[in-house]
Amino acid sequence: MPKRYQVIARKYRPKTFRSVVGQASVVTTLKNAIRFDKVAHAYLFTGTRGVGKTTLARLFAKALNCQRLTEDLEPCNACPSCLEILSGQSLDVIEIDGASNRGIDDIRRITETIGYAPSHGHFKIYIIDEVHMLTKEAFNALLKTLEEPPESAKFFFATTEPHKVLPTITSRCQRFDLARIHPGLIQSKLAEIAQDLDRQVEKEALELIAAFAEGSLRDAESLFDQILCFSDELVTSAIVRDVLGLAPSHFFHSLDEAFSQYSLSYAFECVEKLFELGKDLAHFLEQLIEHYRNIVHAKCKEIEFPPGKHYTKHQALYILDLLIHAESSFSKSVFQRVALEAILLQIIRSKHRIPIEVLVRQLTDSDHGKDAEKGRDCEKEQKSKARLQLEPTPFMTSTDTERKAPPPVPSPAREESPSKHPSHYDTIMRFASIELEGTIRKA
């Protein structure tokens, strides 16, 4: 009978702590708990899908019950206890699906049998997956047992939604928040799998799969399994895009060129081609956001990125902000084709958009120029007034005054007008000048 095919996610599931990807701190803590004999009675593993919650719970259970634990605190995978756990037939490690066994009666069966001693291993371990699915009554039935369990009993909980677990349960557990796995680590793991399967895969294809998985190794392995079924030849990035339903990369290169050349007609050509290829427009919009996010990242980090040569940093930031706001309402739009055309038109038109900070700076500089010009005019006017006030008044007779009476000099607007009543000294000087003039004429 031929051996049945096993999917990649199950075939390459970690069997030791050292093969766990991307959770080094959690692995170190669990191994040290065994080394220092400080194993708690309850653990809560949280995190998004496919990051290793259930896998770590099984590995920890296997290490605790292993009969020939290595010096590096790794399970041997050869003793009867390890083999039973690997085959899922262990009586000491009981896995429960919280979604299908969520009632109070299911929890009562646990509390009634928890006092029995382990059959082969050191501990009787209960692994409850998706524990947040338990009902409130089931949680309450578990509280007393969880607070004071038998010395030989351990509880390992796994959940993707820790906020739904009652605080009274969380407070009785040691909690481990598993992070999303870095795309580089996922890419390396997929490369190892490809080498083991003797398959040739382009580096760019692995990068696309790792990015599409969004930090979930299991999702990446499932996608990789699907793509390997497409062809037994070299796996290229074009094949990955086709299988995943992604738009070809030349769409984005053409959009960059259309932006550079201010070609508004490309907005309609692009959407028309997407319709012909049967691509999901909402998915294409997500790809656009990722494309411009990469451009902004390259601009801010001053990294060389070919598509970035068509944009300034302000233009890329504006387009990214535009796409993020458009994405929230795009899925609700009845006319998604028209909406996408309008978005692409706005992207191309933004080439001639002047940033607000540049406009403010130009207006500020213009106002400063006008103020400086007004200041120079006022300074000239003040200098001319001061020169007129400092010029000496020539001694003139009344006759010359009558013949050559100069035009009156306008007084400054803010200065007080001279007094209309001459002083006593001025009157004497005027009479003296008249008398002197008469004496000269008689002589």
Do 192 and 60 belong together in one domain? no
371 domain residue, yes or no: no
pLDDT band at residue 426 under the 50/70/90 scheme: low
More confident residue, 407 or 441: 441
pLDDT value for 303: 85
Structural domain tally of the chain? Answer: 3
31 domain residue, yes or no: yes
Rounded to the nearest 5 degrees, what angle is found at the Cα of 152, between the Cα atoms of 147 and 154?
55
432 domain residue, yes or no: no
* 313-330 helix and 336-349 helix, angle to the nearest 10 degrees: 170
- Say what the pTM is: 0.72
Q: Please write the tens of the pLDDT for every residue from 1-32.
A: 567 888 999 999 999 999 999 899 999 999 99
Q: Domain boundary residue among 244, 263, 285?
A: 244
Do 192 and 256 belong together in one domain? no
More confident residue, 145 or 406: 145
pLDDT value for 387: 55
Do 265 and 324 belong together in one domain? yes
The string of DSSP codes covering 370-414 is HHHHHHHHHHHHHHHHHHHHHSPPPP--HHHHHHS-PPPPPPPTT
pLDDT band at residue 395 under the 50/70/90 scheme: very low
pLDDT value for 399: 46
pLDDT band at residue 214 under the 50/70/90 scheme: confident
209 domain residue, yes or no: yes
43 domain residue, yes or no: yes
Mean pLDDT for the chain? Answer: 83
Non-local CB neighbours of 349 within 8 Å, separated by 6+ positions: 264
Domain harbouring 276, CATH code:
1.20.272.10
Helix, strand or coil, per DSSP, at residue 65: helix
Could you give phi then psi for residue 201, rounded to 5 degrees? -135, 135
Structural domain of 61: 8-177
Do 159 and 209 belong together in one domain? no
Q: Mean pLDDT across the stretch 38-45?
A: 93
pLDDT value for 107: 85
412 domain residue, yes or no: no
Q: Domain boundary residue among 314, 332, 352?
A: 352
Do 158 and 97 belong together in one domain? yes
pLDDT value for 397: 46
Cβ neighbours, 10 Å, residue 403: 9
Domain harbouring 207, CATH code:
1.10.8.60
Q: Domain boundary residue among 327, 352, 377?
A: 352
Do 188 and 160 belong together in one domain? no
Do 170 and 208 belong together in one domain? no
